[in-house]
Structure 1
Amino acid sequence: MSSIVLCSLGNNNTNNNDTNNNNEEQDDGLPTALYRCRAPIASLDCMEEFTSGNEHTGAPTKEQLLQGYAQHTPVSAPNSALAPRQASITPGLRYRNLGKSGLRVSNVGLGTWVTFGGSGSPNSEQAEEVINLAYDSGINLFDLSEAYSGPRAEAELGRILQRQGWKRNSYIVTTKIYWNTKSDERGLSRKHVIESVKASLARLQLSYIDVVIIHKADPMCPMEEVVRAINHVISQGWAMYWGTARWTAAEVMEAYTNCRQFNCVTPICEQTEYHMFCRDKTELYMPELYNKIGVGLMTWSPLTMGLVSGKLEEGGVSLFSRSSIKNKYSSFSWTEDETQAANKESYSWIKERMQPEETRRQHEKLRDIAQLAEKLGCTVSQLAIAWCLKNESVQCLLLGAASVDQLYESIQSLQLVPKLNASTMSELERILDNKPARPPMVSTLALR
């Protein structure tokens, strides 16, 4: 006995389908089964692509963006949601869930180390121009830290946000805690965590922080105390989510296990360094953490922490001198402690890069990368950013900018990502010759 299966996509067709069914049952004498189902809903990414293609034929220029926020008028029609208004402004800008949470962030964020931290940072007016350009370009995430940016950065960003009057649900603020620039106290004790979050809220003039990042694992503090303190911060409404920065995969897994054991909120992201000369953790271990426990990936230093200038000199790429690197890092007390410890793997690449032999090898690779960038019609910096964005595991890439011109140039890297096809990526892999690979498994029986 056969049956006819009909799928109704609307109420207007229902009566017609019912009439046809009755006629068929009368004619053939066969029972008819009618199943009504809904049409599949298009994904948000797909909708953003349609919106981007229909509403705008190209990206606005830097002058148009600056004129838009100077007149306090939006570049396009405002929308209370995080993504739809801004995704149509900059081609290539996408919004993704951070980890397996519901928080949607732009695939590029603004890191404020260069904007607010250090002696070479721009003044308040220039910093506000950078923040406004980032927001009007579609970037909705601003990353801070009490360590390298300091209280001044949080206070400056808080004043800018209050002055602009943007809707609170249109931007995301993340800040990192561990060090304290005004005292010797540091670590992840319950006292320090709660006091740091409260102080950040006061400086930012916000009622809550979107994501609190733990800037370093504390070997002197029990993990149970850390996760319980963060859970208290979230339960009080001072923060919505929390994540980690520069933690090993084992430390992230330990935090997740303690959260499950004590019924606490689990972390949603890990901030890690990622660029052409630092790939192991990002490409080998972070995708595994995402698939197992839902920890997403937010990366920083796409330009090798300023060591790649993108400036061509005599056919090569200029690098900062070793003395300038040393002076730059010594301006922050927390990096002094890290670089002085020889067994710290997190900053081992800094010491290695200061060695003449390592600098020479990287200079040769950068010369070849510069030639490839010239063929693609972009700068070395843009190629480095696009290469990082090509990794699908990277949900948000933090960019630094000391000026509007620098940020605008970095944002244009989004349009370069589709041009990095298989042949181009293969050429880059040949030049870099550092694709990470897991060490071979060794049987415990063979070690006996």
Structure 2
Amino acid sequence: MEYRFLGRSGLRVPALSFGTGTFGGKGPLFGSWGNTDVAGATRLVDVCLDAGLTLFDSADVYSGGEAERILGAAIKGRRDQVLISTKATFRFDDNDPNAVGSSRFHLLRTVDAQLQRLGTDYIDLFQLHGFDAKTPLEETLSTLDDLVRAGKIRYLGVSNFSGWHLMKSLAVADRYGWTRYVAHQAYYSLIGRDYEWELMPLGLDQGVGAVVWSPLGWGRLTGKIRRGQPRPEVSRLPGSAEYGPPVDEEYLYRVVDALDEIAAETGKTVPQIALNWLLQRPTVSTVVIGARNEEQLRQNLGAVGWNLTPEQVARLDAASAPTPAYPYWHQRGFAERNPFPV
């Protein structure tokens, strides 16, 4: 397994990390992803560690905390062999007005609860799951800095922030000498390239590494969806697509056609090629893969240890090229002064 630095930090993380959204299976969204129990999770952790994949990503809202509890049970007795990443911000309890957001009250309480569910006394990477515009940044960042100084958190990151959310947060942290964010867990795939417009240049400039979620485009790049063929009967897509961005069918088929061509050339699977493309993009520190079972996991692990050729990358770039929103399409007309990140 290749290891990379997490942004501009000294922490090295595996190029592939494992997402625990399939653990627990509670609720309509997570139930459509999977329902892995402790025994199944323990086996998946075994396979990951054998392959050198040591970073496991979770969140408090995954199956209402059950995913964290299952992960904690699966790594029991080998905490020193793994890195734990988890998240919080979204509403955790409908009956508690303070069980949401990035307030000092909520962060202190939720981190303690997460530590208990995970069966550990520290979190390697803690990320805000979304931006909280109703809590002052100074309150959020000073609280996170306190948690780092207390030894409960080692590195900080965010998820699903816009460019200005992230840049303002970094500026406030710098102003007061508080711990900086070094990671941004963001949606990025061959059929979802919005990350490249502003967040990627920001990440390069500010030393924030991308932790990529949903790298297969909400299950659309698994190789099961192709032009002129019926949708698979067994898939998580119908239960989760409404939570993700819409994708034009012709655009999707154009990308899948290119993936199929390169699969025939390389002998690799469509998901392996889609993941390998991401691993060659600027700022990407780790790509979060998920799996309902050992077979899916082993297939995804086959995305490392080789590289697409520059010509193959260029073909995938062309097939998946989106039309940027303003002002990014305008800036691309002046590549001499605004070159694409490399």
Q: Using a 3 Å threshold, how does the CA distance of structure 1 residues 325 and 167 change in structure 2: closer, same or farther?
A: closer
Per-residue Cα deviation, 1:41-87 (whole angstroms, up to 9, x for no partner): xxxxxxxxxxxxxxxxxxxxxxxxxxxxxxxxxxxxxxxxxxxxxxx
Name the counterpart of 2:315.
Answer: 427
Q: Using a 3 Å threshold, how does the CA distance of structure 1 residues 154 and 101 change in structure 2: closer, same or farther?
A: same
Q: Take 2:271 and 2:314, find their aligned partners in 1: how far apart are those partners?
A: 19
Quick one: which of 235, 249, 253 aligns to 1:359?
A: 249
Which deviates more, 387-396 or 192-201? 387-396
Name the counterpart of 2:338.
Answer: none
Deviation of 1:434 after TM superposition, in Å, equals: 2.9
Name the counterpart of 1:24.
Answer: none
Name the counterpart of 2:40.
Answer: 126
User: Is the 8 Å Cα contact of residues 146 and 177 (structure 1) preserved in structure 2?
Assistant: yes
Deviation of 1:436 after TM superposition, in Å, equals: 5.6
Deviation of 1:371 after TM superposition, in Å, equals: 2.9
Quick one: which of 96, 116, 120 aligns to 2:4?
A: 96
Please give the TM-score of this superposition, normalised by the length of structure 2: 0.85
Name the counterpart of 1:385.
Answer: 275
Q: Take 2:229 and 2:275, find their aligned partners in 1: how far apart are those partners?
A: 16
Name the counterpart of 1:295.
Answer: 208
Structure 1: which amino acid aligns with 2:288?
L
User: Is the 8 Å Cα contact of residues 307 and 320 (structure 1) preserved in structure 2?
Assistant: no
Q: Using a 3 Å threshold, how does the CA distance of structure 1 residues 102 and 316 change in structure 2: closer, same or farther?
A: farther
Q: Using a 3 Å threshold, how does the CA distance of structure 1 residues 413 and 317 change in structure 2: closer, same or farther?
A: farther
Q: Does 1:311 align with 2:224?
A: yes
Name the counterpart of 2:114.
Answer: 200
Counterpart mapping for 1:130-145 below 5 A: 130-145=44-59
Q: Take 2:4 and 2:85, find their aligned partners in 1: how far apart are those partners?
A: 16
Q: Take 2:225 and 2:140, find their aligned partners in 1: how far apart are those partners?
A: 47
Root mean square deviation, CA, Å: 2.5
User: Is the 8 Å Cα contact of residues 309 and 319 (structure 1) preserved in structure 2?
Assistant: no
Q: Take 1:102 and 1:149, find their aligned partners in 2: how far apart are those partners?
A: 32
Q: Using a 3 Å threshold, how does the CA distance of structure 1 residues 368 and 295 change in structure 2: closer, same or farther?
A: closer
Per-residue Cα deviation, 1:393-418 (whole angstroms, up to 9, x for no partner): 2111110111111010111111342x
User: Is the 8 Å Cα contact of residues 316 and 363 (structure 1) preserved in structure 2?
Assistant: no
Quick one: which of 9, 14, 21 aligns to 1:113?
A: 21
Q: Take 1:226 and 1:312, find their aligned partners in 2: how far apart are those partners?
A: 42
The count of aligned residue pairs is 320
Name the counterpart of 2:183.
Answer: 269
Please give the TM-score of this superposition, normalised by the length of structure 1: 0.66
Q: Which has the higher contact order (CA 8 A, sep 6+)?
A: 2
SS at match of 2:13: strand
Q: Using a 3 Å threshold, how does the CA distance of structure 1 residues 423 and 436 change in structure 2: closer, same or farther?
A: farther
SS at match of 1:145: coil
Deviation of 1:131 after TM superposition, in Å, equals: 1.4
Structure 2: which amino acid aligns with 1:106?
P
Counterpart mapping for 1:34-49 below 5 A: none
Q: Using a 3 Å threshold, how does the CA distance of structure 1 residues 307 and 121 change in structure 2: closer, same or farther?
A: farther
Q: Does 1:179 align with 2:179?
A: no
Quick one: which of 360, 375, 379 aligns to 2:265?
A: 375
Deviation of 1:260 after TM superposition, in Å, equals: 1.7
Per-residue Cα deviation, 1:397-445 (whole angstroms, up to 9, x for no partner): 110111111010111111342xx11221222233224376933259xxx
Q: Take 1:360 and 1:240, find their aligned partners in 2: how far apart are those partners?
A: 44
Deviation of 1:304 after TM superposition, in Å, equals: 0.6
Which deviates more, 296-305 or 362-371? 362-371
Deviation of 1:197 after TM superposition, in Å, equals: 0.2
Name the counterpart of 1:401.
Answer: 291
User: Is the 8 Å Cα contact of residues 115 and 401 (structure 1) preserved in structure 2?
Assistant: no
User: Is the 8 Å Cα contact of residues 308 and 319 (structure 1) preserved in structure 2?
Assistant: no
Deviation of 1:214 after TM superposition, in Å, equals: 0.2
Instruction: Considering fraction of residues, name the structure with more helix.
Output: 1
Q: Does 1:225 align with 2:139?
A: yes
Stretches of structure 1 that go unaligned for 5 or more consecutive residues are: 1-92, 336-346, 443-448
Q: Using a 3 Å threshold, how does the CA distance of structure 1 residues 436 and 413 change in structure 2: closer, same or farther?
A: farther
User: Is the 8 Å Cα contact of residues 178 and 186 (structure 1) preserved in structure 2?
Assistant: yes
User: Is the 8 Å Cα contact of residues 127 and 158 (structure 2) preserved in structure 1?
Assistant: yes
Counterpart mapping for 1:244-263 below 5 A: 244-263=158-177
Per-residue Cα deviation, 1:376-404 (whole angstroms, up to 9, x for no partner): 21221111111111214211111011111
Stretches of structure 2 that go unaligned for 5 or more consecutive residues are: 334-342
Percentage of identical aligned residues: 27
Structure 2: which amino acid aligns with 1:366?
V
Structure whose CA Rg is larger? 1
Q: Does 1:147 align with 2:61?
A: yes
Q: Take 2:285 and 2:75, find their aligned partners in 1: how far apart are those partners?
A: 24
Q: Take 1:396 and 1:280, find their aligned partners in 2: how far apart are those partners?
A: 18
Deviation of 1:254 after TM superposition, in Å, equals: 0.8
Q: Does 1:160 align with 2:74?
A: yes
Q: Using a 3 Å threshold, how does the CA distance of structure 1 residues 105 and 435 change in structure 2: closer, same or farther?
A: farther
User: Is the 8 Å Cα contact of residues 42 and 75 (structure 2) preserved in structure 1?
Assistant: no
Deviation of 1:364 after TM superposition, in Å, equals: 4.0
SS at match of 1:113: coil
Name the counterpart of 2:336.
Answer: none
Deviation of 1:105 after TM superposition, in Å, equals: 0.5
